[in-house]
Amino acid sequence: MKGKTMKIAQRIARLGTETAFAVSAEAAAFAAEGRKVYPFHLGDMNLRTPANVMEAAIKAMHDGKTGYCPNAGIPQLRETLAADVSASHGIPYTMENVAIQPGGKPTISKFFLTLMNPGDEVLYPNPGYPIYESQIEFHGGKARPYSYIEGERNFEIDLDMLARQITPRTRLLVLNDLQNPTGAECRAAELEKLAELVRAHDLYVLCDEAYFDIRYEGRSTSFAALPGMAERCVILYTFSKKFAMTGWRLGAAIGPREIIDIIIKLNVNDESCSNHFVQYAALEGLTGDQRATGQILKTLRERRDAAVDRLNSIEGVRCFRPNATFYLYPNVTGAMQKKGLTDYDAFRRALLHETGVSVCTRLHFGRPLAGEKNFYIRLAYAGIDTPEIEAGLDKFKAFIES
């Protein structure tokens, strides 16, 4: 093998990644030295999948649901999910609007493959889930970022910036309402303004609703439910977060039938079908006892409050208390100044090495934009218990204030 120069396809140069995985590797290396790590960098959950969901998967295996199944997913799951999302969104979906996927993530690339031509421009959130930027560019599109700004109670989309980014070549919008990393949630006025822009510029929309059900009070509103939007929106649905099923890999693309039919054809080409017996587990998740999912939210909320209270007690740190997601995106500009640091990675590493607190920073959520003046880090609290949150953030405080 030595000495051979591989002729890798050119498109691979445009493929991005989730650099947050490198933070996990650094934290693991630090832990391997026998040091204590407080894992706030993880997007993963340390909560167990509900027992009834696990049992349904085991039963399905024993019942022989171990062969291929329909490319679009088993009909019972498509029907049940369509009914569930119709009820929560107020949109009349049927099973023809649902294509089951091996996770939420595959909907991202399948959306671009279906609707984006090379050179088309796509509006996407930055800071945001890094896979949008990667997949837009990989498939030959032009990624046009829009940003978030600090509002009174939470982050808000910078709608002026978003409108300025629209050109005659803009074709698609990616909206991750209940957002990773900021925890932002659009207010009604923001959603309406976005719908106006979508209508005016004839855009299609990827509604990444990975966190639609991870909310602590009130009900989520889907952008797809606004007048005229359902026919323009593909919803990324996932079982990962609500049912603590990140490793099971099951989700869905939900949208207009013409688009879903193409996505099903992409399923045929990519993976034939999603895991057969896992679909019976998901069915149990949707229709069975909901007590465990309620407990998941209760635990997450307790963690959120512990983390926000402690972060806001640290000099130079300012953190909203988002009503959704399991992420916090505090402004740490003052804290970094206090430590004499102007570099994200230097701050992140100093924090890890001095306290064991492992976080992601703004750099892990897209290429920084010109003119950014404030510094942010992202803490996830889905993979760390409350006593550890408290102990870790007490060390964080002592480090900043020392």
| CA–CA separation, 387 and 113 (whole Å) | 44
Angle of the 386-401 helix axis to the 291-312 helix axis, nearest 10: 10
Rank residues 237 and 396 by Cβ distance to ligand PLP and give the closer one. 237
Rank residues 43 and 50 by Cβ distance to ligand PLP and give the closer one. 43
Q: Which stretch binds ligand PLP (CB under 6 A): 103-111, 219-227, 267-275, 363-371?
A: 103-111
> Closest separation between CB of residue 178 and ligand PLP, Å?
9
Each as own residue / partner, the long-range contacts of residues 18-23 (CB below 8 Å, 24 or more positions apart, any chain) are 18/130, 18/131, 18/364, 19/130, 19/363, 19/364, 20/130, 20/360, 20/364, 23/348, 23/358, 23/359, 23/360, 23/364
| CA–CA separation, 233 and 255 (whole Å) | 6
Q: Please name the residues in contact with 346: beta carbons below 8 A apart, sequence gap of 6 or more.
A: none
Q: Is the peptide bond before 181 cis (omega within 30 degrees of 0)?
A: yes
Would you list the DSSP string of 102-156? SSSTHHHHHHHHHH--TT-EEEEESSS-THHHHHHHHTT-EEEEE-EEE-SSSEE
> Closest separation between CB of residue 285 and ligand PLP, Å?
13
> Closest separation between CB of residue 250 and ligand PLP, Å?
8
Rank residues 71 and 180 by Cβ distance to ligand PLP and give the closer one. 180
| CA–CA separation, 26 and 353 (whole Å) | 10
- Residue 73 makes contact with ligand PLP by CB under 6 A: no
- Residue 105 makes contact with ligand PLP by CB under 6 A: yes
φ/ψ of 121, rounded to 5, equals -100, 140
> Closest separation between CB of residue 369 and ligand PLP, Å?
19
Q: Which stretch binds ligand PLP (CB under 6 A): 97-105, 195-203, 315-323, 350-358?
A: 97-105
Q: Which stretch binds ligand PLP (CB under 6 A): 100-108, 252-260, 287-295, 355-363?
A: 100-108
φ/ψ of 272, rounded to 5, equals 65, -60
- Residue 238 makes contact with ligand PLP by CB under 6 A: yes
Rank residues 104 and 183 by Cβ distance to ligand PLP and give the closer one. 104
Among 39, 73, 103, 285, the residue binding ligand PLP under the rule CB under 6 A is 103
Among 114, 222, 246, 331, the residue binding ligand PLP under the rule CB under 6 A is 246
> Closest separation between CB of residue 176 and ligand PLP, Å?
5
> Closest separation between CB of residue 206 and ligand PLP, Å?
10
| CA–CA separation, 242 and 251 (whole Å) | 11
Among 97, 240, 279, 361, the residue binding ligand PLP under the rule CB under 6 A is 240
Look at strands 360-361 and 98-101 and give their pairing.
Answer: unpaired
Residues in binding contact with ligand PLP, number by CB under 6 A:
13
Among 39, 73, 104, 145, the residue binding ligand PLP under the rule CB under 6 A is 104
Query: What does each C-alpha distance from 149 to 72, 154, 225, 309 come to in angstroms?
Result: 39, 9, 25, 22
> Closest separation between CB of residue 246 and ligand PLP, Å?
5
- Spell out, one character per residue from 153 to 182, where the chain touches ligand PLP: x when CB under 6 A holds, - when not: -----------------------x---x--
> Closest separation between CB of residue 322 and ligand PLP, Å?
14
Q: Please name the residues in contact with 143: beta carbons below 8 A apart, sequence gap of 6 or more.
A: 122, 124, 132, 133, 136, 137
H/E segment holding residue 395: helix 386-401
Among 251, 285, 366, 392, the residue binding ligand PLP under the rule CB under 6 A is 251
Q: Please name the residues in contact with 220: beta carbons below 8 A apart, sequence gap of 6 or more.
A: 88, 177, 178, 185, 209, 212, 213, 324
Q: What end-to-end distance do the CA atoms of the chain give, in Å?
A: 53
> Closest separation between CB of residue 243 and ligand PLP, Å?
11
> Closest separation between CB of residue 251 and ligand PLP, Å?
5
- Spell out, one character per residue from 11 to 50, where the chain touches ligand PLP: x when CB under 6 A holds, - when not: --------------------------------x-------
Which residues are at the interface with ligand PLP (CB under 6 A)? 43, 103-105, 129, 176, 180, 208, 210, 238, 240, 246, 251
